Amino acid sequence: MSDRFRLTLAQLNPTVGDLEGNAALARAAWAAAREAGADMVALPEMFVTGYQCQDLIMKPAFEQDAVRHLTALAEACADGPTMGIGGPWAEDGKLYNAYWIMTRGRVVSRVLKHHLPNETVFDEVRLYDSGPLGGPYSVGNTRIGTPICEDAWHEDVAETLAETGAEFLLVPNGSPYYRGKFDRRMGHMVARTVETGLPLVYLNMVGAQDDQVFDGGSFVLNPHGELAALLPVFDDCTAHVDFVRDGAGGWRAETGPLAVHPDPWEQDYRAMVQSLRDYCGKTGFGQVLLGLSGGVDSALVATIAADALGPDNVRCVMLPSKYTGQASLDDAAEVARRLGCRLDTVSIAAPVDAVEGSLAHLFEGTDPGLTEENIQSRLRGVALMAISNKFGEMLLTTGNKSEVAVGYATIYGDMAGGYNPLKDLYKTRVFQTCRWRNAQHRNWMMGPAGEVIPPQVIDKPPSAELREDQRDDDSLPPYEVLDVILEQLIDREASVAEVVAMGHDRETVKHVEWLIYLSEYKRFQSAPGTRLTPRAFWLDRRYPIVNRWRDPT
């Protein structure tokens, strides 16, 4: 019996629907494993299709095409290590999330996912059938058990595999990021090693799909939770893990790479950069543009865009009106200069006069107000979308989670665009993220190092500048108060009474609650954006648009 086993972990970035491209990534990983003398190469969950496919996986032609690619992959990777790769499998009228085991040119086993997640961003009960509890498969003289992603968050799958002869556990995942997620994963996986007494390999994919970012951070645990290897978060990488038999005949992983795990501020920022980079790369956009107002939100989005795509691929547009102050013009110019991005100026003063003039006979006798403010915002949207259409640059929106939550944004105006990196970042975290980026630079950032967001942009009172002397706190509670209320009502689903018991004014809390529900229709039509928390707007939180209920407490 062999006393060594080498496993190659392919922590890679697939693209949903790019079957040929994903299969090519798998072949390259297999070749690297063969070169390294590995016994097996492992790729993440549903790798050949990309993840998550949502209802695309229910299309028979897509599922059948994926199977064809998997079969061809098995034939192409005959002379070398075993491959494990995630992909769909249909049998007896049922569709499964499966893990394919390929050896010597043929498929020798398929593991079928048993526990199907049906919360937050996951709808797997809608998409797949639950596979039976199964046993391990053999690779050479080694028996490997594979709980697929969610299966490893429950005791029964790992327990069954251990009882039926598994010698270590290989867990392929498509586990998306949210703040604090890594610690939850680690806690569950340590529990599986303690319960079974087996080593465990946790393999996660990287890259972004729509709002979700897969953060990698794959790791290897020896029995009882001892960390043997940790791969970097968010980075594509291929690593080789060596197992040796101990004196009792069981496997133990030798110490491998131990990457430094970054703090939550860096992980959030990396997620926003990676999601925009992949959203553009996977949809075919090479360049972006945004309205740069001189405010903190657009400055941060411009910085994220420069870090994701490079400053030369970011166009900033200042769209002044008669209410735009000189300080805003100067601040926007300084942000663009520090980032090295192009800045164009398009005045909306004349278009505003023209639209207001054309409506004057209808609006006669009414007082100017929100309608006139929104005309400005919508004309900015028209100008930005015209530039986007003309030059093929994707328009980014810049509203933070606080604004998105209470509807402090104009639909068909500043909400127009294709992607919003700040969609799940509350305003108070926007300020801190700007300060973090000014003090930090990493090799994955394509923008310049140093203080790229001027301190005066971060420190000045936020304003939409749609009327004279306007400030955000004219219409909203101060952000340090608003964000606490929003986090309780949205992220924690707290009652009004619970928030009031924290010391907040009941009238203020009820007003915020009213704004949240009133703005549901806006969020329904808003651009997708980076998911940073378990209660991001889109798939995590699904509320009706028509809804008369309000909390009576």
**Residue 451 and residue 475 in contact, taking contact as beta carbons nearer than 8 Å:** no
Task: Judge if 255 and 185 occupy the same domain.
Answer: yes
Instruction: Pick the catalytic residue from 53, 149, 316, 341.
Output: 149
* DSSP letter (8 states) at residue 170: E
Whether residue 45 lies in the annotated active site:
yes
Give the chain's length.
553
Task: Judge if 205 and 289 occupy the same domain.
Answer: no
d(CA 335, CA 454): 7
At 458 the pLDDT is: 97
Whether residue 149 lies in the annotated active site:
yes
Task: Judge if 389 and 289 occupy the same domain.
Answer: yes
Domain final residue, candidates 216, 240, 260? 260
**Residue 217 and residue 232 in contact, taking contact as beta carbons nearer than 8 Å:** yes
> What's the domain count of the chain?
2
Give pTM, 2 decimals.
0.96
CATH number at residue 274: 3.40.50.620
At 465 the pLDDT is: 74
Distances (CA, A) of 244 to 84, 105, 238, 376: 20, 27, 20, 68
Domain assignment of residue 394, yes or no: yes
Domain final residue, candidates 260, 285, 304? 260
Helices (H), 50-123: 60-76
Task: Judge if 28 and 146 occupy the same domain.
Answer: yes
At 467 the pLDDT is: 80
| Tokens standing for residue 458 | 């971060």
Domain final residue, candidates 260, 278, 305? 260
Domain assignment of residue 498, yes or no: no
Task: Judge if 290 and 436 occupy the same domain.
Answer: yes
| Tokens standing for residue 376 | 């400005």
Task: Judge if 278 and 388 occupy the same domain.
Answer: yes
Instruction: Pick the catalytic residue from 53, 63, 113, 373.
Output: 113
Whose CA is closest to 448, among 458, 437, 459, 456? 437
Domain assignment of residue 518, yes or no: no
Residues 6+ apart with CB under 8 A from 215: 175, 176, 177, 181, 182, 204, 206, 233, 234, 267, 271
Whether residue 280 lies in the annotated active site:
no
Task: Judge if 234 and 275 occupy the same domain.
Answer: no
Show pLDDT as tens, one digit a residue, over the chain (553 residues). 568 999 999 999 999 999 999 999 999 999 999 999 999 999 999 999 999 999 999 999 999 999 999 999 999 999 999 999 999 999 999 999 999 999 999 999 999 999 999 999 999 999 999 999 999 999 998 999 999 999 999 999 999 999 999 999 999 999 999 999 999 999 999 999 999 999 999 999 999 999 999 999 999 999 999 999 999 999 999 999 999 998 777 999 999 999 999 999 999 999 999 999 999 999 999 999 999 999 999 999 999 999 999 999 999 999 999 999 999 999 999 999 999 999 999 999 999 999 999 999 999 999 999 999 999 999 999 999 999 999 999 999 999 999 999 999 999 999 999 999 999 999 999 999 999 999 999 999 999 999 999 999 999 988 777 788 777 777 889 999 999 999 999 999 999 999 999 999 999 999 999 999 999 999 999 999 999 999 999 999 999 999 999 999 9
Whose CA is closest to 384, among 317, 324, 287, 464? 317
Task: Judge if 48 and 88 occupy the same domain.
Answer: yes
Task: Judge if 210 and 292 occupy the same domain.
Answer: no
Domain assignment of residue 496, yes or no: no
Task: Tell me the residue range of the domain where 349 lies.
Answer: 265-468
Domain assignment of residue 385, yes or no: yes
CATH number at residue 223: 3.60.110.10
Task: Judge if 130 and 165 occupy the same domain.
Answer: yes
Task: Judge if 197 and 169 occupy the same domain.
Answer: yes
* DSSP letter (8 states) at residue 422: T
Domain assignment of residue 294, yes or no: yes
